[in-house]
Structure 1
Amino acid sequence: MADPKNFVDLQAGFYNALAQGLGYSPSDPFQVIQPSPPLTGGNLGDELLWNYLNNLPPASLTQNTSVSGGNQFLANYQGVMSALQSAPNNFQSTIGEACFEAYQKALAAGDVKPGPMNFRNWALYNGTCSGVAVSGASALAAAMLDPVFAAQMNVLPYKPAGTENVDFVPGYQKMLALLKKAPSRSFSVSAGDWSTNVSSTWTGGSNSGFFGLWGGSSSTSTLSEKFASGGVSLTASFQHVLPFNATPGDWYSSSAFGLAYNSPGAAPWNPANPINWDKTFGPQGNMQRFASNLLIADQMEIVVSSAASYSTNEQTEIKQNSSAGMWPFYSSGGSSSSSTTVTFKATGEMEVKITSEAGAPVVIGCTVLSAEVYLGHEAQAAKALARTYYPRT
């Protein structure tokens, strides 16, 4: 146990303290999420919550959601579905090219939901397809027994090709109800008592992308380094902490995705498509890890004390930037349901207090699962499907 030497050490020490305070063992695949503004609820509640689950986590002890937003579950999943070949079927030949194209456009526009009965009801009132409403519904029912074809149809209504936003089940209101019943958690770390060794964690110590003293600042800036090495103590309490798990909505097919994962370099992957198994699940792939349980806190109170002495100019700079949120959760001052206050003693020592109100959930971390673990329960079923629909030659 010692004082951190730099901000890298401080962030590692905070990771260990938070993980232990929440009941995790050093080997558990826990990840700190920063910044952590409160979920405001209202009409945006579901969207804000599901964005965390839609974000694919990096191989880091810290996930900075401000800089890691380009790797999205739905978008990458859509890419995989476009790279798979479904088993032969006669749906398209039954309804004809014109009707098939009209149906694809209607799915993307949200004018019809996937499924045989929905096709029939839509086709009856569509001049291009009215004559094949019944035969087309029967052909579609047979075609959708193939998990790949069904998955390709089910994901069409979603953005960017369609109009539907990504969704997971359950949503924000269910999460709030569960959060109110979740237990409390608290922990504290005294100056000189930080455990900064993260070599035995799930990433082997890899930790990147985190900010410095305030949101958007560099962890190697002069003030960040002074803060980190100047004797930091921290107390944290959460009235409720909920491990929240949600599953992808109708856009997702675990059977088709599991089939893709368990068929490297073979059908149903289309060898002519640039998206392949290696680019998806391989060492440099874009779908190696998934966020499972989100750790959601309510009524948070964090007090951070720094024994370093800050000059008048440094105090001014810190206060001017505190609205961007302060370490460790960077809850920006723009939210009415959270506050960040910075005060200095006459001798220059600093205290930061971060609070969030009741009913204003804050996502502070998640459990990270590898693709193998995330899809592990589908392995045997996927292999059986592969033998049925895509037999090796």
Structure 2
Amino acid sequence: MTSFVELQQRFITTEFGALGIVASHAQVLQPASALPTDDATLWSLFNTIPSDSTLFSPDGDETFFAAYSALIDSLIPGSGLLDPIAVAKRKLEEWGHADPAWSVGYAGLISQLNLAPSNEFPFSNPGGPASPFWGLWGGSAPASGQSVAFAAGDVSGQFAFANVLPFAPTPSDWYVSSALSLAYAKHSGKPWNPDSPITWDSTFGPSGNMQRFVTSLYVVAGLSAQYVSSTKFSKADQQAIQENAADGMWPYYLGPGAAGATTKIQFDAQGKMKVGLTTGSGQPVVIAALVLPAAQYLGG
């Protein structure tokens, strides 16, 4: 019998394969994130220091900008005007106290997304362990009764996106990539300051605060999901599912109004469930993030 965790893992593998996402470096957003129209929310996703998890979430309260700024401030610059550390220090000083920005904002994202190709894929799962995943609806446990029953049946459906965009802006003028790469390449000695508590290990080591980096977000628009389950739900289970549907249904958990999302749930005379989910045309939803370890991101 398939557990809900196994069902979710199979769906993610199928979806990532269809979208060309490298699964070993991708993290799922749970729920999928319907973006508001401001730049700050979008950029905050890139300003995250990801945890080592299947799900995309910040690793503590520190941001990429804060960690990068503290690191550059602690390093010893070379004597040349074009020394990467010296350039990075000047760039940060010029940036001042403004919030961090990236090269492309919300308007640019929408322009790119509208030109991005469509994608669709079928999914079927013929009919656990501790897991970070939710169950059948948002916030529910994968081992809850309705979730277990859903996963135990044959689940099949069709999933489509009108537009799919790997969105990868670069940090704005406050960031100097060569300075961070130089710091990563030198485990000791200059540019590291022997009198600073910020070291290579405290930055890039196993307990460091910059072990992973967000390189891109997978943004979709015009999402359409239709799936059925062969499980015969009791009247009580049907009522529980309908009552909790407002928390968003598997697999994207988009509640009412998020990106213009609508969810329709129907049960036939035998109690078999059919779910339909759509989002508004042109309204961006982030479904995954591509996260690279420091060794790959910084070219080590």
TM over 0.5: yes
Q: 1:312 to 1:19 in 2, by over 3 A?
A: same
Q: SS at the partner of 1:256?
A: helix
Q: 1:275 to 1:310 in 2, by over 3 A?
A: farther
Partner of 2:175: 252
Partner of 1:56: 49
RMSD: 2.7
Q: 1:336 to 1:36 in 2, by over 3 A?
A: closer
Look up the equivalent residue of 1:260 and give its one-letter code.
Answer: A
8 Å CA contact retained: 1:185, 1:237: yes
Q: SS at the partner of 2:166?
A: strand
- Indicate yes or no: 2:101 matched with 1:167: yes
8 Å CA contact retained: 1:244, 1:294: yes
8 Å CA contact retained: 1:57, 1:63: no
Q: 2:291 aligns with which of 354, 365, 368?
A: 368
Structure 2: how far apart are the matches of 1:69 and 1:177? 33
Q: SS at the partner of 2:29?
A: strand
Please give the residue correspondences for 1:295-310 in structure 2 after superposition, counting only pairs within 5 Å: 295-310=218-233
- CA shift, 1:86, in A, is 3.4
8 Å CA contact retained: 2:26, 2:290: yes
Q: 2:68 aligns with which of 65, 77, 91?
A: 77
Partner of 1:192: 126
- Indicate yes or no: 2:16 matched with 1:19: yes
- Indicate yes or no: 2:31 matched with 1:35: yes
8 Å CA contact retained: 2:119, 2:161: yes
8 Å CA contact retained: 2:33, 2:287: no
Look up the equivalent residue of 1:12 and give its one-letter code.
Answer: Q
Structure 2: how far apart are the matches of 1:181 and 1:231? 36
Structure 1: how far apart are the matches of 2:86 and 2:123? 54
Partner of 2:214: 291
TM-score by length of 1: 0.68
Q: Which runs of 5 or more residues in structure 2 are unaligned?
A: none
Q: 1:25 to 1:154 in 2, by over 3 A?
A: closer
TM-score by length of 2: 0.87
Q: 1:306 to 1:84 in 2, by over 3 A?
A: same
- Indicate yes or no: 2:43 matched with 1:47: no
- CA shift, 1:163, in A, is 4.4
- CA shift, 1:146, in A, is 4.1
Look up the equivalent residue of 2:121 and give its one-letter code.
Answer: F
Structure 2: how far apart are the matches of 1:80 and 1:222? 49
CA displacement 1:221-242 (0-9 Å, x = unmatched): 3332222223222310111111
Partner of 1:7: 4
Q: 1:308 to 1:252 in 2, by over 3 A?
A: same
Q: 1:343 to 1:295 in 2, by over 3 A?
A: same
Structure 1: how far apart are the matches of 2:286 and 2:28? 9
Q: 1:190 to 1:175 in 2, by over 3 A?
A: same
Structure 1: how far apart are the matches of 2:249 and 2:41? 21
- CA shift, 1:157, in A, is 7.5
- CA shift, 1:257, in A, is 1.0
Moved over 6 A (4+): none
- CA shift, 1:302, in A, is 1.0
- Indicate yes or no: 2:280 matched with 1:343: no
- CA shift, 1:346, in A, is 2.8
CA radius of gyration, larger in:
1
- CA shift, 1:48, in A, is 2.4
Q: 1:227 to 1:76 in 2, by over 3 A?
A: farther
Structure 2: how far apart are the matches of 1:208 and 1:22? 24
Q: Which runs of 5 or more residues in structure 1 are unaligned?
A: 89-141, 194-206, 380-393
8 Å CA contact retained: 1:190, 1:234: yes
Structure 2: how far apart are the matches of 1:68 and 1:356? 30
8 Å CA contact retained: 2:71, 2:198: yes
**Bigger strand fraction:** 2
